[in-house]
Amino acid sequence: MTQDETRGRIIVQLLPRIVSLRKRGLAGWITIIGLAMVIAVVLMTLAAPWISPHDPNEISIGPVLAPPSWSFPLGTNHMGQDMLSRLIWGGSTMLQVAVFSVIVCLVVGVPVGLLSSFAGGLVDKSSSLVMDSIYAFPGLVLAIAISAMLGPGAVNMALSIAVVYVPSYYRIVRSQVLTIKELPYVEAARMIGAPGRSTLLRYILPNILPSIVAVATVNFADAILTAAGLTFVGLGLPISTPDWGWDLTYGRRLLPSGAWWVIAFPGLMIVILALGFALAGEGLSELLNPKLEQ
Amino acid sequence: MTLRSYVIGRVLLTIPMILLLLTLVFVIVRILPGDPVLVHFEKQATPAMIEEMRRQLGLNKPLEQQYVDYLLGLLHGDLGRSMADFSSVSQQIFTAFPATLELSIYSMTIAVLLGVFLGARASRSYNSVEDHSIRIFGIASYAIPVFFLGMVFQLIFAIDLHLFPTGGRVSLGMIPLGLSIGGFHLSTGLYTVDSLLEGNLAKFLGAFHYLFLPSLTLGIVLSGIFVRLTRSNMIETLRLDFVTAARARGLSERAVLYGYALRNAFLPILTMMGLQFAALLAGAILTETTFSWPGLGRYLVDRIAFRDYTAIQGAIVFFGLLVALVSLVVDILYAYFDPRIRF
C-alpha cells in the first residue's frame, strides 16, 4: 500500500466517527456545537463579497461613530466605515493565519515527534530539550519577538505563531508513540518483518491521528487568540485589511467616547470563533479519552 | 535520592535550558531577516549614522564576539542599551518589574480562588446543570481575548458606572513611600504593600482601586484552567474509599469536600500555578496595555512601537529567565511536598 492510500484510509476511518458524534452524549454535542460555530463563521467569511452591504474599507459611508441603527445595524467607526461590513470581512485574515500556522505545526511537529520518539537516544534527548525550552517560554512573548523581527504580514504572523505551538504537537506525538511502540501489535508487526518506516506510518501513526486532530482543533483557538494579541500589541497587518483584531485594537482609543459597538462586535466574533474551536477540541479529546465519563 | 541531590540535579538541568533560550533570542534578533539597526531607522538615516549606531551598540563586531559579549553582559545583569535613547535596559526593566509583579500576584490569587471554588462546586454537583455551566465558563474564559474582557470591564465599570479608573496605577501624589525609620528605608515597589508599610490606609485603598479591574480581568481569563483541574481531580477523589469512609463517619458534606477532597488537589494546583506563570506573563502584557499599567508588558509594547530592538531583546530575555526560575522553584516545592517525585 502506498502512503497516499494509507492517508486515504485514515480519512475514511475518521469520517464515520464525526458523523456518529450525536450518539456520543454530551461530549458529542459539545463537539457539534463547537464545529457549528466555526463553520458558521467560515461560511460568513467566504460569502463576504455577496452578503456584505458595503465596502469594508470605504470611509465616510455613514456618519462618524454612529451607534447601531437600521441603516448601520452595527454602527460605524471613527472613519465612518460600516462596522457590519467590516465584521463580515474581518475574519478572513485571522482564519488564514490560523490555518497556515496549524499546517506549519502539523508539517513540522508531527514528523519531528515521530522520528525523535522512534529513534530515541541523543536525537530524542536534544530535540526534546529544544522543544521543552520553547514550550516553557511564554507563547505570546516568543511570538512577539519573532514577529517583531520578521515584520508585518499574514505569512510572518502565521510563522511566528507556528514556532510557539510546534512543541504542543511534538509532545503529544512523542508521548503517544512511546506508549504505542510497546504494544503487542506493534511488536507483532516487527516480528513479521515490517520495516521501521512502515511500522511508524502504517501501524503507529493511524492510532495517534485522533489525538493530533484534537490538539490541532484546540490549537486553532490558540492561534486565533495569539494573532489577535499580536495585532493588539501593534504587530498586526496593514490598516487597509479589515480585521477583527485591528478593529478591537483601534477601538481601545475610542473607548472614552463610550462607543461600545466598535469593540463589542469584533470582540464577540473572536470569542465565537475561538470558543467554537475550543469546544470542538474539548469534545473531541473527551471522546477520545472517555476516562471521566464512566 | 535526597531532596538536596534532587535540587542540585534540577538546577543543573536549568542551565542548558536557559542557555538555549538565550541563544534562541539572540538568533531571533540577529540572524532572522531584518537588520535591527536598518529596521529601526527605516530609510531616514545616512550610512555614517547607521555605522555609528552599530559601533555604539557593539553590532559591528563579529557575531561570535557579540554572542560572548551578550552572555557576559547577562552574567552582570546587563541587558544592553536601548536603541532609542541609550538608557540602560536593565535599569528600565528593574523599574517596571514591581508593577507587573503586583498585577501578577493579585491576578493569580483571583484565578486560583475563583477556579478552585467553581471547580469544587462543579465536582459536588457532577453532571448537573450547575456542573455544565461551570464547565462552559471554564472553556469560555479560555476563549476570551484578555484585552477584550478588559475593555468590556472598562466600558461598564469605569466609563459607564465610574466605579473604577480606566487605567493607570496610582493617582497623582499618591505613590506610597514604604517604610522609613530613621535612616532605614524599605520599599518593595508593590504599591499595596508599600502603602501598608507606610501606614497610610488611603494610599492602600487608592492602589487597590487601580489594581482591581486589571487583576480581575486577568484572573478571570486564567481561572478556567483551575476550574477544570480542580473539578476533574475532585471528581476522581470523591470516588475514593477514604471519602466514603469520611462520609460514613457522618462528616458534613462541606467538611468532606473542602477538608478532605480539596486537600488532595493541592499538589496539582500548585504545579499548575507554576505552569500557568508563563501564561500569566503573556496575559499581563495584554492586560497592562489595555489598562495603561506601567509594567514590563507595557514597556515591551512601547519598545515595539519604537522598534527598539535591544530593549525588546532585554525584556524577552528577562521574561524567559523569570519563567525558568519560577518553574525551578515550583519543581523543588513539588519534590518537597511529594517525596515520590524524587525517586
A33 touches chain B (CB under 8 A): no
Contact B166 A267 (CB under 8 A): no
Q: What is the pLDDT of residue B104?
A: 93
Distance in Å, alpha carbon of A2 to nearest chain B alpha carbon: 38
What's the sign of the alpha-carbon dihedral B141, B147, B148, B151?
A: positive
Distance in Å, alpha carbon of A192 to nearest chain B alpha carbon: 38
Q: Which of A144, A149, A221 sits opposite B143 (nearest CB)?
A: A221
DSSP B88: B
SS3 A63: coil
CATH number of A3-57+71-288: 1.10.3720.10
SS3 B81: strand
Cβ contacts of B323 on chain A, cutoff 8 Å = 136-138
Q: Helices (H), strands (E): how many in chain B?
A: 15, 2
Report pLDDT digits (tens) over B243-297.
888 888 888 888 888 888 888 888 888 888 888 888 888 899 999 999 999 999 9
CA–CA separation, A216 vs A225, rounded Å?
14
Contact A232 B286 (CB under 8 A): yes
CA–CA separation, B49 vs B39, rounded Å?
14
Q: What is the pLDDT of residue A292?
A: 45
**Is residue B219 a contact partner of residue B107, using CB atoms and an 8 Å limit?**
yes
B214: exposed, middle or buried (Cβ count in 10 Å: 0-12, 13-18, 19+): buried
- Among B270, B266, B227, B232, CA closest to A289: B232
Q: What is the pLDDT of residue B4?
A: 84
Q: Which residues pair with B181 in a beta bridge?
A: B184
Cβ contacts of A144 on chain B, cutoff 8 Å = 285, 300, 304, 312, 316
A35 touches chain B (CB under 8 A): no
As given in the structure block, the three cell numbers for residue A148 are 517583531
ipTM associated with this complex: 0.87
Q: Which of A26, A146, A233 sits opposite B301 (nearest CB)?
A: A233
Mutation target to probe the A interface, by most A beta carbons within 10 A, among B15, B147, B319 is B147
Q: What is the pLDDT of residue B98?
A: 92
Q: Which of A133, A139, A251 sits opposite B17 (nearest CB)?
A: A133
Residue corresponding to grid cell 451607534:
A67
**Is residue B110 a contact partner of residue A232, using CB atoms and an 8 Å limit?**
no
Other CB atoms within 10 A of residue A46 CB: 13
Q: What is the pLDDT of residue A36?
A: 94
Q: Which of B32, B154, B232 sits opposite A292 (nearest CB)?
A: B232
Report pLDDT digits (tens) over B48-72.
777 777 777 777 778 788 888 888 8
Contact A263 B17 (CB under 8 A): no
Nearest residue of B to residue A280, measured between CA atoms: B139
DSSP string, B166-223: SS-S--TT-----EEETTEEE--S-HHHHHHHHT-HHHHHHHHHHHHHHHHHHHHHHH
CA–CA separation, B254 vs B274, rounded Å?
28
What's the sign of the alpha-carbon dihedral A75, A81, A82, A84?
A: negative
**Is residue A83 a contact partner of residue A74, using CB atoms and an 8 Å limit?**
yes
Q: What is the pLDDT of residue B110?
A: 96
Distance in Å, alpha carbon of B172 to nearest chain A alpha carbon: 20
CA–CA separation, A96 vs A93, rounded Å?
5
Distance in Å, alpha carbon of A44 to nearest chain B alpha carbon: 20
Q: Which residues of chain B have pLDDT under 70?
A: 1, 31-44, 341-343
What's the sign of the alpha-carbon dihedral B16, B18, B22, B25?
A: positive
Report pLDDT digits (tens) over B204-214.
898 899 999 99
Q: Which of B32, B166, B305 sits opposite A149 (nearest CB)?
A: B32
Q: Which of B155, B285, B313 sits opposite A140 (nearest CB)?
A: B285
Every domain of chain A and the residues it spans: 3-57+71-288
As given in the structure block, the three cell numbers for residue B227 are 476550574
Q: Encode chain A (294 residues) as per-residue pLDDT tens digits.
A: 455 555 555 555 555 555 566 666 778 888 899 999 999 999 999 998 999 888 888 877 778 888 888 888 888 888 888 889 889 998 888 999 999 999 999 999 999 999 898 888 898 988 988 888 888 788 888 898 888 888 888 899 999 999 999 999 999 999 888 888 888 888 888 888 888 788 888 888 888 888 899 899 999 999 999 999 999 988 888 777 888 988 898 888 888 888 899 899 999 999 999 999 999 998 888 887 655 443
**Is residue B262 a contact partner of residue B233, using CB atoms and an 8 Å limit?**
no
A155 touches chain B (CB under 8 A): no
Please report how many Cα atoms fall inside a 13 Å half-sphere around the Cα of residue B260, on the Cβ side.
22
What's the sign of the alpha-carbon dihedral B22, B28, B31, B35?
A: negative
Distance in Å, alpha carbon of B183 to nearest chain A alpha carbon: 41
Cβ contacts of B285 on chain A, cutoff 8 Å = 140-141, 144, 229, 233
Contact B289 A228 (CB under 8 A): no
Per DSSP bridges, beta strands B179-181 and B184-186 are antiparallel
Q: Which residues pair with B185 in a beta bridge?
A: B180
Q: What is the pLDDT of residue A30?
A: 87
As given in the structure block, the three cell numbers for residue B112 are 486560583
Contact B20 A129 (CB under 8 A): yes
Determine the distance from the C-alpha atom of residue A216 to the mean position of all C-alpha atoms in its chain, rounded to a whole number: 6
- Among A148, A144, A161, CA closest to A93: A161
CA–CA separation, A283 vs A21, rounded Å?
10
